[in-house]
A and B are shown apart, each in its own frame.
Chain A
């Protein structure tokens, strides 16, 4: 029967399509594996000779830094508070700037030109490392935590804006359409449909960014942005490895504390 033959042909073509896609999949996998191998080779990671002295050196360094020396702990309170303040203020400023930028950058926000412009701003903010932002702001406003928090804010705005835009793009549009069919304004759709849907993910990535910024704020201390990082780099410069180890432990404690706080906040918002 002609009809049956037609159907058989159609089935064969569907199956052929499937095998073609599988072949493409394997080819892509092999290409990716090759690219990764080249990257390792290029970074000199296969040059085994260079690993010869690595372990002994690390052990010597570890030995020199043990036991940790907490004797100057009284002078760490202020730098620690500075680092914490930098991370909090940087994250809050970034979240405040990233919210409108991310909303504009999200595909389907309504105006393609504006959305591309917002994306460009976010990409620029993000592609300049926070260390570079830090050097710029130290020159602009002087030493201390202020340039640090401005640097964190700039770089984090780029990161958070990108994440916010992606979260907004994944929002279910159906509840918003229901609102629009009732004659509700665009702003109200954002408030009553988009916001409740994105809130848990936004809280999640913002808390994650805060945790990241505590670590980043430490590094910024190195270039004169104050905080515990300055103490750490000073200890290294003075070869006071045991004090450096103590500072690293303190930092670890702080980051762990913030992770615990973040987990608690997440549990509250995701419930």
Chain B
């Protein structure tokens, strides 16, 4: 991400957030049931505007479900969500407004393999077109898509079918599809999962720089704890659908890590590279 993908000036210079930054989203006692199973229990969270909130935890604890709750793909069975400037997300109108300002990067890319990279990025702008229009995508939108691809360093592959791209390239197309929306809230579900581990450090650094420059509010699910510690302003640790830790990276000490990644004795030889 060499250039800032957003069209606005954004937060300038300073890398530190003001201590009393306003909340962008407030979750209050959210409980989500899927298939008769309680996946999230009483999750209360304040997501700070302009901050990067990293969600960590073992697989199956409900990280993806938390992202899907924030973008409305999953409706909680109880609890409320409030969004700055919109209010409580209860009616269709509030959700429409929230979704217009939100973009999601999906864990499994969620791209269409036979379409080109730029056509996939254009899908991020599908809400700006009439679904039955037979006209080609307007030039202005195609230009935005091309710029978004450029911002993730993939302009040269714009016309290649996504099915022929590598995992890391696909992930970047997914990121471009989110950024092209020029969102206020960016949700990302393990966006570096299919990136070459050697590149994750650089990519996550670029990611942080880019979202900072745009002043984006980010909720990002990460399974590499070191990446989370490196880029996040706040860490949220989930255990069995509950918030087990919520604080700054500095406060995420070994005791807190033990609480979030508890019960991993059998796997510990595989996880020794975790800090």
Contact = CB atoms under 8 A, between A and B. Distances in A.
Contact of B112 (A182, A191, A193): A193
B135 interface: no
A23 to B, nearest CB: 32
Interface string A168-202: 00001011011111111101101111001100100
Given A175-B123, A193-B123, A181 B73 contact: yes
Interface stretch (B29-37, B75-83, B98-106, B152-160): B98-106
A192 B100 CA distance: 17
Interface residues of A, number: 21
A190 B132 CA distance: 10
Contacts of A190: 131
B181 A182 contact: yes
Contacts of B106: 174, 177-178
B110 A174 contact: yes
Contacts of B68: 181
B198 to A, nearest CB: 27
B262 interface: no
Contact of B100 (A180, A183, A191, A200): A183
Given A180-B73, A196-B112, A185 B131 contact: yes
Nearest to A186: B131
A178 B177 CA distance: 10
Contacts of A172: 112
A177 B106 CA distance: 10
A184 B126 contact: yes
B108 A192 contact: no
Nearest to B109: A174
B132 A181 contact: no
Contact of A181 (B71, B115, B129, B131): B71
Contacts of A184: 126-127
A197 B112 contact: yes
B207 interface: no
Given A181-B73, A182-B181, A188-B126, A175 B131 contact: no
A177 B68 CA distance: 10
B126 A179 contact: yes
Contacts of A174: 106, 108-110
Interface string B228-252: 0000000000000000000000000
B72 interface: yes
A146 B175 CA distance: 54
A180 B131 CA distance: 13
B101 to A, nearest CB: 10
A125 to B, nearest CB: 27
A184 B96 CA distance: 9
Contacts of B126: 179, 182, 184, 188, 192
Contact of B123 (A179, A185, A200): A179
Contacts of B71: 181
A177 B67 CA distance: 13
A187 B131 contact: yes
B131 A178 contact: no
24 contacts: A172-B112, A174-B108, A174-B109, A175-B110, A175-B111, A175-B112, A177-B73, A177-B106, A178-B123, A179-B123, A181-B102, A181-B104, A182-B99, A182-B100, A182-B102, A182-B124, A183-B95, A183-B127, A184-B126, A188-B127, A192-B123, A193-B123, A197-B112, A200-B114
Interface of A: 172, 174-175, 177-185, 187-188, 190-193, 196-197, 200
3 tightest A-B CB contacts, nearest first: A183-B99, A174-B110, A188-B131
Given A191-B132, A197-B114, 6 more contacts: A175-B112, A182-B99, A182-B124, A184-B127, A187-B132, A200-B114
